[in-house]
Chain A
Amino acid sequence: MKFRVEREVLAEALGAAARVASTRNNAMPALSGVRIEVTGDKLLLSCTDNDLSVQFVLNVGGQEDGVVVASAKLMSDIVRTLPEDKVTVETIGETVSVSSGRAQFTVPTFAATDFPNIVQASAPPVTLAANLFADALRQVVRAASSDMQRLALTGVLMSAEPDGLRLVATDSYRLAVRDLPGSNILGHGEKVVIPSRALNELQRLLASGEEASLCLAGDRATFTVGQATLSTSLLQIEFPNYRQLIQPSYPNTLTTAREPLLEAIRRCRILARETTPVRLEMTATSLKLIVVTQDVGNTVEELDATLVGSDTTVGFNPEYLSAGIEAVTGDEITIQTTDPIKPAVLRGVGAPDYLYLVMPQRLTN
């Protein structure tokens, strides 16, 4: 196998592929590898950890057809740092050589037969607007859990709603819900839970395309964006019943400018330790943010705001709160509360398609 390609093109694809390659499977070392296959002037790069896989098709100057599997991380690190614009990759015996300019690397290979077949969902694809879907993922995936002990919470629920598609994620401390009205990529009443790790990778891929397609079949979902194909197993697990958490109305609604609030919380976080809440004191005309951290210091900042309802004080985990404010769109944001220990809801003013529900932290005197 031998080919020549632009360094940037290969580095970008290898970087994305290497993130998917398994780094912890000692029983199957080939899973830490990238499969490189050249046929004519087409290069197919594949990485998988058996649950998630990604493939890239690149145009290259093919000189000799063949297949090789080498460490994905090594290949990515090498190509990313090569000195010249053009890279030549070729197999030499049991090794693969990567050269550019006067730099040349030789790394060992895995048996290509040890690399598993990539399974993709085969069904008629449906089309997604890449930027819209990427924006929805940006708003929702952040609320998914990374705790594998609560597997259902590590996924993002995609469900067909009467007026479109809904994406939902929660880690039990916050919940993000994004509606995509008019999007009918799922059948009536259909719902799937997709691992958030796969959707994190998809977000990156969507940045490079205008259109994406989705195939859903059996226990797999396959997304295609440009020359990249990402395929993931679905979580065969019941997503928690989140609907009961969203009330139709809240007694207190505070409205304030989004960006100044975000900046103020960022400043507060300088003093906040892991468990220190940021205290939000809401009154008719202002919002006061207070952080008191023993032995570290205190901060108070006041912002203009409008409150409809009763004066109230609620404490939040500053990280979760700022993640929600970041995810909301629009110049102004509303924070709706019931009492200091019930979930609060963040929405962008004029942006009804997204809500971020966050659980307060108990405040001590």
Chain B
Amino acid sequence: MRLVVARCSVVYEGRLDASLPEANRLLMRKADGCIAIHADGGAYKPLNWMNAPNTVVEHDDKWVVTNPKGETLTIYLHEVFSDSSHELGEDPGLTKDGVEAHLQELLADLPESIEPGLTLIRREYPTAVGPVDLLCRDASGQTVAVEIKRRGEIDGVEQLTRYIDCLHADTSLGNIRGIFVAQSIKPQARVLAESRGMGWCEVDYDELRGKRTDELRLF
């Protein structure tokens, strides 16, 4: 992981043209090749970024980052305050709570409980921005990315959007759609998913694991 704190300006040319005026920022260049430009705020989200695979050419006063789609990110370094590299090693990954991980296992075994005709391609399908919970194929052969949460909120839909954006880079997968799955999904998350052309599905954890206890219930 290389961390550079610098006064820089950035020009992006690709699907659209965008630029960041000169200011102090953090540049992150990760071992997998992706580059992110952060301001001192805005939570986890970079101001601009370019995912791997890409090519970085470092000049004295600028970095030029290009990717196979022909997009270019040019970072002009006006003054470098700090430049350090750290070996982070292999990351153990996000530890999901028991229910969420178990839900993923159950749904990997029973993808039809999400949508009739759905078959599993792979669990934890790797992408540059993290693994997709389930990558499936629907009855018509279309690739389906499935994000599974215990509680379905807007951030889960955003996460699935990022995965799908990333998966689109792999043309062998063809057209990709998403399904957001949770035990319960907030109305706002449903609306956001639908507005982005994604499906959503609520699943019953107890039903999935065939929970049969001695407890008597009305429902």
Contacts and interface: CB of A to CB of B under 8 A. Distances in A.
A173 B218 contact: yes
A343 B184 contact: no
B214 interface: yes
A153 B151 CA distance: 15
Interface in A110-150: 148-150
Interface in A227-257: 233, 236-237, 240, 242, 245
A361 to B, nearest CB: 7
Interface of A: 27, 148-151, 153, 170, 172-175, 219, 233, 236-237, 240, 242, 245, 341, 343, 357, 359-362
B43 interface: yes
Contacts of B217: 172-173, 359
Contacts of B216: 341, 359-362
B148 to A, nearest CB: 14
Contacts of A360: 216
Interface of B: 43, 150-151, 183-184, 187, 205, 214, 216-219
Nearest to A357: B218
Given A170-B218, A172-B218, A236-B187, A149 B205 contact: yes
Contacts of B219: 153, 170, 172, 240
A308 B150 CA distance: 47
A27 B184 contact: no
Contacts of A237: 184
14 contacts: A148-B151, A148-B184, A149-B150, A149-B184, A150-B184, A170-B218, A170-B219, A172-B218, A172-B219, A233-B187, A237-B184, A343-B218, A359-B216, A362-B216
A150 B219 CA distance: 11
B107 to A, nearest CB: 16
A156 B51 CA distance: 47
Nearest to B187: A236
Contacts of A240: 219
B203 to A, nearest CB: 11
A242 B218 CA distance: 9
B44 to A, nearest CB: 11
A151 B151 CA distance: 10
Contacts of B214: 362
A151 B219 CA distance: 14
B43 A151 contact: no
B89 to A, nearest CB: 29
Contacts of B218: 170, 172-175, 242, 245, 343, 357, 359
